[in-house]
Amino acid sequence: MALILRGAVKLYYYLNEEIADQRTKDWPLMNTPFPGLFLLFIYLLIVLKWLPKYMEKRPAYDLRKFLAFYNFIQMLCCIYVVYQSLRLGWLNHYKLVCQPVDDGPLALEYAWKVCYAYFVIKLVDLFDTVFFVLRKKQNQVSFLHVYHHFGMVAVAWGMVKWVPGGHSTILVPVNSFVHIIMYGYYLLTTWDESYKQSIWWKKHVTQIQILQFTIMLLHFTVLVFAPECDFPRQPAYILIPQNLFMVILFSDFYYRSYIKPNKIVKNE
């Protein structure tokens, strides 16, 4: 037992101190993983237990005006990180195929305005689930939804902690661009309820999400087949199965929502 404990302590020190990026270690929530894990634990309790129980015998809240504001702000935040990621990296000096962790004159600004800003946005995204529960849309609090939101916070935290720049941060502009479209759709639904009934919108938003995870899967696979690339391989070993899993989950959702119903109708 003592040997196991010593090994665990050594591993924790290695992950949290030795290989952590020293530029970001003192930023809020970055010093250790425990505050972030606590927030995620509270998130799960709120959306899966406490809030559904609170709403059990209460009417759904009308949040349309607030959600219009929320979705608009989310769009602005996503536009900001896409712009900064392109200005400071991907349209500046970053290479698409193999980009090492940046330590140049723009590196700290990139880490703060792109990676850390993205992490904060992913934390705010957790309120999406809270709003579903308050509106009594519990059917939308699916495993896919909760897993995706939980996982994106963890991935964004790891990016800031270990590699706040370089190859893996293509995730920021790609995912944020998808969220601009997604929150734009949500904003439209707060103005006109008919958009909620439009299969066209929902179908293509899901297609864009599947395309996003496919692009990320291919982007991280490059690291496995480019041994000369001076970027840590460990993120790829985590993000390749993560993105493959997301492609499978979203593809399954797409099939069950948009293809299977059409087959049933044709058979009838």
| Active site amino acids | 148
Nearest alpha carbon to residue 188 among 207, 172, 204: 204
- Neighbour count for residue 226 (Cβ, 10 Å): 15
- Neighbour count for residue 142 (Cβ, 10 Å): 14
Q: Cβ(177)–Cβ(78) under 8 Å?
A: yes
Question: Which amino acid is residue 77, in one-letter code?
Answer: C
CB proximity list for 43: less than 8 A, separation 6 or greater: 126, 129, 149, 150
Computed over its alpha carbons, how large is the radius of gyration of the chain? Answer: 20
Q: Cβ(60)–Cβ(67) under 8 Å?
A: no
DSSP state letter for 19 = S
Q: Cβ(220)–Cβ(240) under 8 Å?
A: yes
Tokens linked to 116: 């850390």
- CA of 180: how far to CAs of 80, 82, 127, 176, in Å? 10, 10, 16, 6
Query: Residues 135, 138, 142, 148: what is their CA dihedral angle, to the nearest 10 degrees?
Result: 30
Q: CA torsion sign, 90 to 78 to 107 to 162? A: negative
